[in-house]
């Protein structure tokens, strides 16, 4: 029951966050920080208090490791709410993952005795995310009312929406243009993304292990920065846990299961020599489209059943 409670903020508030950020796409980080402080701050402090009660002998390092592990798994679970034929759900998935990430940062602040409802936490979050270099600049940005002109750039709502998605991906750590890697590494990453996208049109759940890994990596980097910010320079290896996270492994198994459906269907087409208008290609197209919708629809149904929108 507690697991549903922790997942509820990201599942139930994602739509509210998306509507708020769409009003001013150019102020996505500031809107996210303010929204999280209002809606997640009180709950984050209470979560850490309950965790201390449940683990009375755990020191601060052990509590941080537990929070990071839970938070990383929550981000991976929420962010995996993306199926091939349902790409329109990417903004909702990103908002859910962002909220889970931010909640974990607030919980890490609470382990160090910081008030998770204090406006200073919002400024600290912007620094930890790398949006601003210091909290004074972040506070000034939070206090400044935006107009949204910088985001839309006079190109209309569609351009603003695309801009918002790219900025969400950067905040989540899915896109890291300034990570210092070489050009060919960046080309390889984008090629992999393109390949996953194309395969995902036929095998929608192939997105799951790819996105799960990316969320896992981005959240680990964020929680490392948050831990250094609040604690100093601790040993971060303990908080990272096992190399293969169960959520990532489960996503991989679901993707394999998703691939079996079109594979078996195509095999049946070949074995039975099924044809339409004297050719196999129309049958292949129908089979691939149907299997894509069935597997993606099954995944969507399960997600909505587990995390209904209030």
Distance CA 186, CA 217 (A): 16
Cβ neighbours of residue 262 under 8 Å, at least 6 residues apart? 202, 203, 287, 288, 291, 292
The tokens for 304 are: 């909505």
pLDDT digits (tens, 9 = 90+) for 138-194: 999 998 855 444 444 445 667 777 788 888 888 888 766 555 556 777 677 667 667
Distance CA 265, CA 287 (A): 7
Distance CA 94, CA 111 (A): 26
The tokens for 240 are: 């990272």
Cβ neighbours of residue 69 under 8 Å, at least 6 residues apart? 239, 241
Contact 34, 208 (CB under 8 A): no
Quick one: pLDDT at residue 79?
A: 65
Quick one: pLDDT at residue 32?
A: 93
Distance CA 208, CA 194 (A): 15
Quick one: pLDDT at residue 217?
A: 84
Quick one: pLDDT at residue 184?
A: 74
Quick one: pLDDT at residue 88?
A: 65
pLDDT digits (tens, 9 = 90+) for 26-52: 889 999 999 999 999 999 999 999 999
Quick one: pLDDT at residue 3?
A: 44
Structure-token match 């709950």, residue found: 43
Provide the angle, in degrees to the nearest 10, between the axes of the packed helices 60-79 and 90-111: 170
The tokens for 307 are: 């995390």
Quick one: pLDDT at residue 188?
A: 73
**How many H-runs (helices) and E-runs (strands) does the chain carry?**
14, 0
Distance CA 165, CA 65 (A): 30
Residues of the chain with pLDDT under 50: 1-10, 83-85, 147-154, 242, 309-310
CA angle 196, 202, 207 (to 5 degrees): 35
DSSP string for 62-75: HHHHHHHHHHHHHH
DSSP 3-state of 286? helix
């Amino acid at each position: 029951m507690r697991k549903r409670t922790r997942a509820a903020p990201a599942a139930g508030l994602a739509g509210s966050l998306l509507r708020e950020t769409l009003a001013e796409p150019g102020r996505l980080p500031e809107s996210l920080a303010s929204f999280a402080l209002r809606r997640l701050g009180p709950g984050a402090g209470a979560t850490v208090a309950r965790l201390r009660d449940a683990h009375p002998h755990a020191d601060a390092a052990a509590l941080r490791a537990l929070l990071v592990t839970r938070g990383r798994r929550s981000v991976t679970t929420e962010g995996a709410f993306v199926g091939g034929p349902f790409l329109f759900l990417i903004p909702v998935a990103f908002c859910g993952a962002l909220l889970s990430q931010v909640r974990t940062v607030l919980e890490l602040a609470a382990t160090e005795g910081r008030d998770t409802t204090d406006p200073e936490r919002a400024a600290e979050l912007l620094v930890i995310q790398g949006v601003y270099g210091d909290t004074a600049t972040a506070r000034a940005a939070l206090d400044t009312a935006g107009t949204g002109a910088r985001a839309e750039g006079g190109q209309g709502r569609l351009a603003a929406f695309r801009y918002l998605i790219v900025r969400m991906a950067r905040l989540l750590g899915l896109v890291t243009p300034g990570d210092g890697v070489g050009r060919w590494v960046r080309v390889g990453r984008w090629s992999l993304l393109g390949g996953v996208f194309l395969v995902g049109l036929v095998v929608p759940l192939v997105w799951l292990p790819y996105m799960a890994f990316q969320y896992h990596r981005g959240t680990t980097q964020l929680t490392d920065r948050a831990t250094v910010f609040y604690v100093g320079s601790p040993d971060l290896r303990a908080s990272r846990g096992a190399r293969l996270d169960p959520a990532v492994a489960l996503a991989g198994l679901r993707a394999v299961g998703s691939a079996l459906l079109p594979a078996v269907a195509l095999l049946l087409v070949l074995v039975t020599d099924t044809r339409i208008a004297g050719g196999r290609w129309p049958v292949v197209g129908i089979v691939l489209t149907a299997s894509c919708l069935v597997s993606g629809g099954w995944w969507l149904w399960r997600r909505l059943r587990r995390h209904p929108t209030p």
